[in-house]
Amino acid sequence: MDVDERVRRVVRHTAEVLTADEIRTLFARSERPRAYIGFEPSGGLTVAHLITARKILDLTEAGCDVTIFLADWHAWINDKLGGDLDRIRAAGRSMSAAFGALGLDPSRVRYRWASELTGRSDYWARVVRVAKATSLARIKRAMSILGRSEEESNLDSSKLFYPPMQAADIFELPVDLAYGGLDQRRAHVLAREVAHHYDWPVPCAIHTPLLSSLKGGGRMDPVEGVTERKMSKSEPSSAIGISASGTDIADRIGGAFCPAKEVEGNPVVEAVRFIVFPWEGRLEVERAAKHGGPVTYENEGSFTAAWREGSLHPQDVKRAVAAALDRLVAPARRYFADHPEEGPASFGVASASL
């Protein structure tokens, strides 16, 4: 795979690239760039993580050494799973198992825990340096990476450690290319700003889009730190668990917000754009002959154009999306059926809520 194809593989299906020139330079000089994505282990994966899994596969296929960072201390600070580190770590192991079931080869990705870094004095020196290069107001603006507002930062002073820690992680691992959903862009931008301040190597960054809640509504402006509308495992009715049954998937998608002809903020249409096309490369819609018969879309553009003009009925698209998601989560569903001890019960969450 030449440099052009490696770069194309990395940047496809992204919502933001920081920056395209930097990524090309990185791949021109390095056969094995170091990439990373961080997760708070706070619950089971949802179908929204199919976006992430596909991009991690792209990174490995492009030759990156990928670290999946299980941020146990960050989840503790953010009060996830009651702040119980044992439950948080069990959730992290479950996340690792789910990603493996989705096709992430453990020989090509490396899992690391935040607690591997927090025991080192050098790490905390790095956190302090990041904090000293950043104003308190800037740290508070970055609170959105926790899924919290700037105002909430006043409730618990430990939350102020989070943004400097997340930026410090990038330099301590270390990382050439930081990856995350658009909700993590503020942390990556902070790391880039701090790198310029200290003349440290500046990490590139890529961000994939966020899948909207099945319920619809809410604002979504990740640049401003607003992600009210995103699908979240902390709100089960808005999401679909990665090991959900075909029946549950059909029920959830069947009842999802899906206004005809609307693209933005439409979780069913977003599932087609952000999940189905990146994974399967096509969307097959079964329709009765009187409604035009079966139709297959080979790219996002043709599907979106048909949707906007109203030639597709929401119920037909919902059935197609449900069928595609059922296929994509089947490996995880089989894995957790065979290994229930690694599922939600291992960290004290009822599987029915996921």
Position 12 scores a pLDDT of 97
Mean pLDDT: which of 123-137, 150-164, 221-235 is highest?
123-137
Quick: pLDDT tens for 253-283.
999 999 999 999 999 999 999 999 999 999 9
Report phi then psi at 36, rounded to 5.
-150, 155
CA–CA distance, 93 with 111 (Å, rounded to integer): 10
Q: Are residues 239 and 199 in the same domain?
A: no
Q: What interhelical angle do 49-61 and 314-338 show, nearest 10?
A: 70
Q: Are residues 148 and 115 in the same domain?
A: yes
Mean pLDDT of 335-344: 92
CA–CA distance, 39 with 114 (Å, rounded to integer): 10
Position 230 scores a pLDDT of 66
Lowest-confidence region among 115-124, 148-157, 273-282, 293-302: 148-157
Q: Are residues 196 and 283 in the same domain?
A: no
**Domain-embedded: residue 90:** yes
Per the structure, the complete domain to which residue 145 belongs is given by: 3-211
Quick: pLDDT tens for 176-211.
999 999 999 999 999 999 999 999 999 999 999 999
Q: Are residues 248 and 133 in the same domain?
A: no
Position 145 scores a pLDDT of 67
Percent of the chain with pLDDT over 90: 79
Position 222 scores a pLDDT of 58
CB 312 within 8 A of CB 262: no
Q: Are residues 245 and 174 in the same domain?
A: no
Q: Are residues 272 and 310 in the same domain?
A: yes
Q: Where are the alpha helices (DSSP H) in 243-289?
A: 246-254, 267-271, 277-280
Q: What is the CATH number of the domain that holds 287?
A: 1.10.240.10
Position 354 scores a pLDDT of 44
Q: Are residues 207 and 234 in the same domain?
A: no
Position 217 scores a pLDDT of 67
Residue ending a domain, among 211, 245, 260, is: 211
Q: Are residues 172 and 45 in the same domain?
A: yes
Residue ending a domain, among 211, 244, 277, is: 211
Q: Give me the number of domains the chain comprises.
A: 2
- What is the overall mean pLDDT for the chain? 91
Predicted TM-score (pTM) of this structure:
0.92
CA dihedral (230, 71, 201, 193) in degrees, to 10, reads: 50
Q: Are residues 179 and 253 in the same domain?
A: no
**Domain-embedded: residue 219:** no
**Domain-embedded: residue 218:** no
Residue ending a domain, among 180, 211, 242, is: 211
